[in-house]
Amino acid sequence: NIPTRVKLIDVGPRDGLQNEKQPVPAAVKIELVHRLQAAGLKEIEVTSYVSPKWVPQMADNHEVMAGMTRQPGVRYSVLTPNMKGFEAALLDQPDEVVVFGAASEAFSQKNINCSIAESIERFAPVVQAALAAGIAVRGAMSCTVGCPYEGEVAPERVTMLARLMKGIGVQRVDVADTIGVGTPLKVQRAIEATLPHFDIDHICGHFHDTYGQALSNTYAALQMGVWNFQSSVAGLGGCPYAKGATGNVSTEDVVYLLQGLDIDTGIDLDALVDAGAFISSALGRKPNSRVATALLNK
């Protein structure tokens, strides 16, 4: 009973680029967004409104949001950890804001400088204000399988975070394997742990490929009926507060898997590979995607 249609959210411009040491010009980020939407992506995570001292690469959030040409039917999302971030984001009219919590206390502290409970207190007014302004709200749940500081994360922690997210009005959540240590069974347990509070239609799978398990984990999530997934064109990424974690699973690899399963994504794989080649060459490297590598060398 795997889904016949899947929606992919490309998080490359945000999750993918946030960790780049070299400055990436806003014009390049804008071009990336344009290429992703031209390839058929209907959801793009564009940027974040966080402290530029913590994440300098996202300091051009306004420039990118104001400079891109929006395509009707595409949802543009941005990260907002607190009211300060939300107020800045509001001026740029995102379709969705993302509050981002963690299933592990240590990661919450390192990433957003507060406990899980404090983070929920900060998110609550953001969610309220967003919904009042007609903006959708997603909750990212980091470290639902493992944490770079605490090791394995118990499913009960995920259930607790999902309950807190639901309690403040978050509409859907990402079950994120932030450091890519998950295997199919563990990822299925994390999804199962979320289900008491969010149904399968409101859960997005977010997998990193550190141990090469992301596609298997995607398939395991599909088997549970998950049909929303996040991925990063050219496998961009790695989290600044998750040492050693590689990028998100590449969108190209996920699309290839889904095409092979006769699952409709609405994405043109060749155009997507070109988008990945574009950003990779801007970064001076090759795409971190097996499918892109294969197709580019054909």
Contact 67/55 with Cβ under 8 angstroms? no
Nearest to 276 by CA among 7, 1, 12, 11: 12
In the bound complex, what is the minimum distance in angstroms from residue 206's beta carbon to ligand HMG?
5
Q: Which of 15, 92, 209, 252 binds ligand HMG (CB under 6 A)?
A: 15
* Least Å from the CB of residue 174 to ligand HMG: 7
Return the range that interacts with ligand HMG (CB under 6 A); candidates 27-35, 109-117, 262-270, 275-283. Answer: 109-117
261 alpha carbon, distance to own chain's centre: 23
Residue 248 interacting with Mg ion (CB under 5 A) = yes
List, in order, residues 6 or more apart from 55 with CB less than 8 Å away. Answer: 18, 48, 240
d(Cα 190, Cα 175) in Å, to the nearest integer? 7
3-state secondary structure 117-156: HHHHHHHHHHHHHHHHCCCEEEEEEECCCEECCCEECCHH
Interacting partner of 115 out of ligand HMG, Mg ion, none (Cβ under 5 to 8 A depending on kind)? none
Tell me if residue 204 is catalytic: no
- Please identify, among the stretches 51-59, 128-136, 152-160, 264-272, the one whose residues bind ligand HMG according to the rule CB under 6 A: 51-59
Residues in contact with ligand HMG, total (CB under 6 A)?
Answer: 23
- Per CB under 6 A, does 176 bind ligand HMG? yes
Shortest distance (Å) from residue 118 CB to ligand HMG:
9
Residues that bind Mg ion in the complex, under the rule CB under 5 A: 15, 248
